[in-house]
Chain A
Amino acid sequence: MPYPSDFKYTKEHEWIKADGKNATIGITNYAQESLGDIVFAELPKVGSETTAGKTFGTIESVKAVSDLYAPASGTVTEVNSELATAPEKINKDAHSAWLIKISMRDPNELNSLLSAADYEKFVAEEAGH
């Protein structure tokens, strides 16, 4: 599956799509594949803060709990309510099943993230272990 070129990526397998000061955040296809069936998503409330590099929630598969790391700092403006009852949507299409939307404090934070091409290379190396 190709990684959308208008997304930026973290080494922790989150993606972020910026639109001015607003951004949408999710996890990558590689992440959902590695996790297996996703059964639970614990996401922050609207109005709470995210800090780049810090955890903002968890995603659970049958066997494991995985922390989510924020690609950028900001305030949560929207939470994908579908995931409360249908977290498997993330498995079906990780790049469209977004988790949260934020209003970014500093869009320049995105400059240190990976491009689609760099993320793809990063994942190919990880998978090769």
Chain B
Amino acid sequence: MSLPAVEATTPTTRKTALNAVHRQMGARMVEFNGWDMPVEYPSSGGIIAEHMTVRTGVGIFDVSHMGDIRLAGHGALAAVQHISMNDASRLAVGQAQYSALLYPQGTFVDDVIVHRLTEDEYLLVINAGTREKDFSWVRDNTRNFNCKVENLSDEFTQIAIQGPKGVNLLQKLTDADLSAVKFYWVTRGTVCGLRNVLIARTGYTGEDGFEIYVPADEATSARVWNEILEAGKEFGVLPCGLGARNTLRLEAKLPLYGHEISDTINVWEAGLDRFCKMEKQDFIGRVALEKAKATGLQRTLVGLEMIERGIARDEYKVLDDSGSEIGYVTSGSPAPFLKKNIALAYVPPRSSDAGSTVKVEIRGQGVKAQVVPTPFYKRPKKA
């Protein structure tokens, strides 16, 4: 049979500070957007076990490959408002929001989490594959604003601690009162003996959890990683890789750049209206989005659930009942928690009502799927 190829790392493949630790733990490594990253840890039991642990307990991820851009100065808010589609003026100090950087055509440069760290200091956390592109974009489009733009991507090891027990785990390692940090808020505290560490109650799994930003030297990074695993033993913590990261975000219907969002897809098609504040005075992409709204949608992102046996995967064609091609799958996979095979896909608006049936072309055969409401999974509200 054709086994997944073991990718050779090239001299240009980048490594996070925890790379040696992952390899020591026997992680199965994969090349992701130029980075040598763990896709799963056989010692954890693999993708499905990792996924379930995050949904029911706590799992940790090395997400240092993501990028970090800081804008600081009196003009920082104005600069962020210009390049970001959400309204950053609504952020209190210590608050964060999901947003996106748009091209003038209203399509995506990247999605981003905007954190307001202090009065005049904003941190944009961006995707791994778009680090350089985003930094150039931000720098070039904020030249006329009174602020400093810095690429801090290499300064941090970023560890995500995700799952209902994430707060219990991290609280053991920090003096910060995590119960006072609401979802999508940040704080600073001593973590594993390190002073002034940024702690954000954010994540990409659809669960409660935190992301911490510690110094990127290998020794510190390894020490923190191992201390988290030690402290998490009582909660059954597992190290988790990009495989589980993908299945978790898919169940939660969180977009992935290059799939649900890209430079050829606009905000309305991607269904990210609620993060796009058109009432803001002006931001890059606003004019095009106004026009696009008037024209109407040609395609829209929907959730699919397979009804017949089969797994819809990225780029598979979506067909109508008569077998005509009407769209394509952006992301598709088995969903370990839901125990279904799910997908996100672009289809014409006429095929987008929940309950509509479509077919997904799997190795030449049309296999029945149903449009379902999203997110596929929503974490239970705490009592």
Interface residues of A (CB under 8 A from B): 12-14, 27, 31, 33-37, 39-40, 42, 58-69, 84, 129
> Which residue of the partner chain A has the closest CB to B39?
A63
Q: Tally the A-B contacts, defined by beta carbons under 8 Å.
A: 60
The answer for the CA separation of A64 and B28 in the assembled complex, in Å, is: 14
Query: Are A36 and B47 neighbours in the complex by a CB distance under 8 Å?
Result: yes
28 contacts between A and B (CB under 8 A): A12-B1, A27-B1, A31-B3, A34-B3, A34-B4, A35-B4, A36-B28, A36-B42, A36-B47, A37-B46, A37-B48, A39-B311, A40-B309, A40-B311, A40-B334, A58-B363, A62-B48, A62-B247, A62-B333, A62-B334, A63-B39, A63-B243, A63-B333, A65-B311, A66-B2, A66-B3, A69-B1, A69-B2
Query: Are B1 and A62 neighbours in the complex by a CB distance under 8 Å?
Result: no
- Of residues 59 through 95 on chain B, the ones whose CB sits less than 8 Å from some CB of chain A are none
* Closest beta carbon of chain B to A39's beta carbon, Å: 5
Question: What are the interface flags for B1-45 relative to A under an 8 Å C-beta threshold, 1 for contact and 0 otherwise?
Answer: 111101010000000000000000000100000000001101000
> Which residue of the partner chain A has the closest CB to B334?
A39
Question: Which residue of B1, B309, B333 is within 8 Å of A59 (Cβ)?
Answer: B1
B255 at interface (Cβ–Cβ under 8 A)? no
* Closest beta carbon of chain B to A52's beta carbon, Å: 14
Could you say which interface size class chain B belongs to?
A: 20 to 34
- Of residues 306 through 354 on chain B, the ones whose CB sits less than 8 Å from some CB of chain A are 309-311, 313, 333-334, 336
Interface residues of B (CB under 8 A from A): 1-4, 6, 8, 28, 39-40, 42, 46-48, 243, 247, 309-311, 313, 333-334, 336, 363
> Which residue of the partner chain A has the closest CB to B336?
A62
Chain A residues contacting B313 (CB-CB under 8 Å) are 65
The answer for the CA separation of A37 and B8 in the assembled complex, in Å, is: 23
